A and B are shown apart, each in its own frame.
Chain A
Amino acid sequence: MALSKIDLANMLTGLVPNDNTIRRPNAKPLIFNGSMDLSQRYGTTATTITEGYSLDRWEFVEDTDGSATVAQTATVPTGKGFAKSLDVQVTGTDSSIAASQDVRIVQKFEGQDLQVLKYGTSDAEKVTLSFHVKSSTTGTYSATLRHTNTSGTAYVNSLTFSISSANTWEQKVLVFNGNTAQDIRNTNTEGLRLEIYLAVGSNFTSGGGANANSWTTGNTNRASASNVNLMTSTDNDFFLTGIQLEVGEYTSSTLPPFQHESFGDNLARCKRYYETQTGFYFYSFQSGTNVVHDVPINCKVEKRATPTGSFSGSVVSYYPNTSGANSETNNVTAIAIGDKNGSTLLSLNTEAQAPTDAGYYPIYADARNAVANWDAEL
């Protein structure tokens, strides 16, 4: 079929950078769970966090004299295609943030995933950060990139954004210069992190270099000294969704569309860092009585590193018995994890009702109400 028309106007939209920026049209987004659709740990339950992960891949740090919860909510900007947002709700106030204190939302990235940024070369890429935000508190906030080089030294570049209307969704677009002098370490450990500050003490702002769009070492330029303090009232909250991190420089009019992943794709990517399973059954063998018996389980996705294991709930074990009960409820007393592939042994407590004769016997275990977690976050 012959082409009858070439639509040059649409071919030359702002979606095509006018420099030699690397394009990733078919790649997954750099950001994880930017739509906030995934919350394996707490679902939609508002959870008090001082330092830990909330929605998948999103860490929250609240290091003040106050307190705050993080929740997955259905409060979203209209007409943008988002169904969920991350909500920080202040639950205990601190109107005077000490020098060493801060509140921030963080996502960390493996260095090996960001070699595309070509840091440490004259071709270092700019990065465009975009997100939708709604807050009760107007004013200046800080968004910071912090990368770690091959030698393990961290460099920060902090930009500010302003929320001008309280309780109103706004889209922000920030362009970070690349670091031509320092690389990003090419490993499965942290190579870059994104931080959004909701409150920050002077130890992190005293350098006065925030918003210079340049890279410095140390912690004194982590944020702007003008950053708001969200922690002044329990009426204060902060919503965030639709986060993009794009290679190259874009404006609000040239920004590529948000890549809406399927729930399954989003879940599969996030499971490299955290995976929770419930409702499983397993078979095992054991000999003797009143001993710990082990049952093997596996996580579904290979992890970034050998993961930490945790378990909640109990296991009902069934076994042959010629008299009395043939089942009992066991608790998991230990977890051993062999490698990043997540091969895991659950050690269950003693079986008072198990057969008294010697030899091996089979165990069928019902853990449909238990939850196993593997954590390999950065």
Chain B
Amino acid sequence: MNNIKSVKQLANNGEQGDNMLILIDNQDNKLFVPKDEENRHYQAILQWVADGNTIQEAD
């Protein structure tokens, strides 16, 4: 997946937010991605970070 625009940590509101990331792609689709290494979007985020990008802090 090469069309990641930004990634942000989802706020932990007492449920499972700390385990989720918000991915915005180049078409401005908003995806809620679990930190599961078998999830293809999370795999893409890990590669995106390895390429020098940074996950934003939660709001």
Contact = CB atoms under 8 A, between A and B. Distances in A.
Interface of A: 50-51, 188-189, 292, 294, 304-310, 334-338, 345, 347, 375-378
A334 B17 contact: yes
A336 B10 contact: yes
A304 B37 CA distance: 12
B33 A308 contact: yes
A50 B13 contact: no
Interface string B1-31: 1110000001101011101101100000111
B47 to A, nearest CB: 13
A337 B34 contact: yes
Contacts of A375: 31, 41
Contacts of A347: 13
B38 interface: yes
A51 B17 contact: no
A189 B23 CA distance: 21
A188 B38 CA distance: 8
23 contacts: A51-B2, A292-B13, A294-B15, A306-B38, A306-B39, A307-B39, A308-B23, A308-B39, A310-B29, A310-B31, A310-B32, A334-B10, A334-B32, A335-B20, A336-B15, A336-B16, A336-B20, A336-B32, A337-B16, A338-B16, A345-B15, A347-B13, A375-B41
Nearest to B36: A306
A310 B20 CA distance: 12
A189 B43 CA distance: 12
Contacts of B2: 51
| Nearest 5 Cβ contacts at the A-B interface | A305-B38, A335-B32, A306-B36, A336-B16, A306-B34
Nearest to A291: B13
Given A51-B2, A51-B3, A345-B16, A337 B40 contact: no
